[in-house]
C-alpha cells in the first residue's frame, strides 16, 4: 500500500484542483467533476508512466522532485491540456497559466515538503 500512496496523493490533488476550478467559476462541483477531471487524470497516468520509464535504469522514487515530480507534473499538465482540447473543452492561455501554476504547487509542493521534513 505504501508504494501506491504517492499516486493516490497526486490523484487526490488533481481532483482537488479540478473541484476548486469548478467552484471558482460557480459551476456544480460534483455534477461536472468527472468531465473536468478526466483529462488531467489521464495526463497524470501518462506523467507517471513517463517517470517510471525514465527511472527504469535507476531506483524509482515517486517522492523525488527530479526527475519524478517534474515529469509527473509536466505529463499531467500537457496531457490534461491535450485531452481537454481533443474533447472540446477550453484551453485558453490564462487557464493554461493557472493550471500549470496550481498543478506545480500541488504536485511538486508535497514532494518538496517531504524532502524538507526528511
The string of pLDDT tens digits covering residues 56-88 is 878 899 999 999 999 999 999 999 999 999 999
- Residue 1 binned pLDDT confidence (cut-offs 50, 70, 90): low
Query: Helices in 1-118 by DSSP H: which ranges?
Result: 5-24, 29-54, 70-86, 93-117
Q: Calculate the average pLDDT of the chain.
A: 93
pTM over 0.95: no
Cβ count near 50 (within 10 Å) = 18
User: Residue 60 is inside which H or E element, if any?
Assistant: none
Amino acid at each position: 500500500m505504501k508504494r501506491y500512496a504517492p499516486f493516490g496523493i497526486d490523484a487526490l490533488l488533481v481532483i482537488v484542483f479540478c473541484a476548486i476550478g469548478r467552484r471558482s467559476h460557480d459551476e456544480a462541483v460534483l455534477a461536472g467533476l468527472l468531465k473536468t477531471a478526466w483529462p488531467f487524470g489521464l495526463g497524470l497516468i501518462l506523467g507517471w508512466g513517463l517517470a517510471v520509464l525514465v527511472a527504469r535504469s535507476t531506483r524509482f522514487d515517486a517522492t523525488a522532485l527530479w526527475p519524478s515530480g517534474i515529469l509527473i507534473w509536466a505529463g499531467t499538465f500537457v496531457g490534461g491540456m491535450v485531452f481537454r482540447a481533443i474533447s472540446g473543452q477550453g484551453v485558453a492561455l490564462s487557464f493554461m497559466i493557472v493550471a500549470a501554476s496550481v498543478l506545480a504547487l500541488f504536485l511538486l509542493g508535497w514532494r518538496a515538503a517531504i524532502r524538507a521534513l526528511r
